[in-house]
Homo-oligomer: A and B are copies of this chain.
Amino acid sequence: MVTISDVATRAGVGAGTVSRVLNGSPRVSEATRTKVLTTIEELGYRPNPLAQGLSRGRCQTLGVVVPFFTHASAVERLRGVSAALDGSRYDLVLFDVEHPVHRDEFLATLTRRDRADGLIIMSMPPPPADLQRILDGGVPVVLIDAVGDGVPVVRTDDVEGGRLATRHLVALGHQRIAFIGDAPDNPLGFVSSTERERGYREVLEAAGLGVDGQLVRHGSHDREVAHRLTNELLDSIDRPTAVFAASDVQALGVIEAARARGLDVPVDLSVIGFDDIELAVYAGLTTVRQPLAESGALGARLLLEALRGEAAPAADVHELPLELVERSTTAPWTRP
């Protein structure tokens, strides 16, 4: 394994000079620079990232704490992060949270620049104390799809998204509109679904339709669970004519359940989702689109910026736009 001093010896210079060349210091003569550069080439030398990290006090690594495969949307966001990191000198370390203990473990150990130089936390609001400890450790944090104090946040207005979806259904003449989403007290603390539900409730109240508790169902973020919840809804006497699902994944479960019992979507049941994941296009799903990949990319850019400036990033809230995408799973309600 060839080290910096091998290069230095061979080139007839000091290790410091090689380091300066490596790091583009202007205080190197053109002659030595080229000599060092050719020697590096000859020896096939590459700096040891570990040693650089130890010496510099940082490790050229960005951590992403993410409920990885729980949400299809997380994957799309991750793609955005990855794309934004391309060309930067940062490696992407994945901290996959499938369970609250993972999150707590990560949050407890990622408090220093030796594990990750910066952190993106997705969809899980970190406990304020943990967040503060991380920031105190000099690790900048960006939150995506979650809110927290003192750090940049990339988010969408989920309440408004809930309104958009519900208004669409109301405008189509639906009066019995159900909601299927995550439980408000879900273990990882996701709040998006609950906020969308709030928008749903607001619009129903405003439209004078009121909220029927029987039409609001909660379960884990999962196609099959949504399928089951839909069966419950459709079993009732006074069943809904439309369902607003808090995510596309759940909406697909709703459609599946409806079709399984011979109902036509959208004739017998309108379904609207949220996210506009890749699959929504295929399924012809009407949904509220949020720019998932873009949210990841923006989060990564904010983090890189903070890292570049070595300053704490501005704790701005970056709100990404939502947009209703009408496809073919919603239709006007024609009274029986």
Contact = CB atoms under 8 A, between A and B. Distances in A.
Interface of A: 1, 46, 48-51, 53-54, 59, 61, 68-69, 75-76, 78-79, 82-83, 86, 91-96, 98, 102, 109, 112, 114-115, 223, 252-253, 256, 278-279, 281-283
Contact of A59 (B50, B75, B86): B50
Q: What is the copy number of this chain in the assembly? A: 2
B54 A82 contact: no
Contacts of A253: 282
A314 to B, nearest CB: 26
A75 B69 contact: yes
A256 to B, nearest CB: 6
Contact of A98 (B49, B53, B86, B109): B86
Contact of A93 (B50, B79, B94, B252): B94
4 closest A-B pairs by beta carbon, nearest first, are A82-B96, A50-B53, A69-B79, A50-B54
At the interface, is chain A mostly helix, strand, loop or mixed? helix
A48 B112 CA distance: 9
Given A54-B54, A79-B69, A279-B279, A48 B92 contact: no
Contacts of A92: 93-94, 96
A51 to B, nearest CB: 5
Contacts of A68: 78-79, 82
Nearest to A79: B69
Contacts of A69: 75-76, 78-79, 82
A92 B91 CA distance: 10
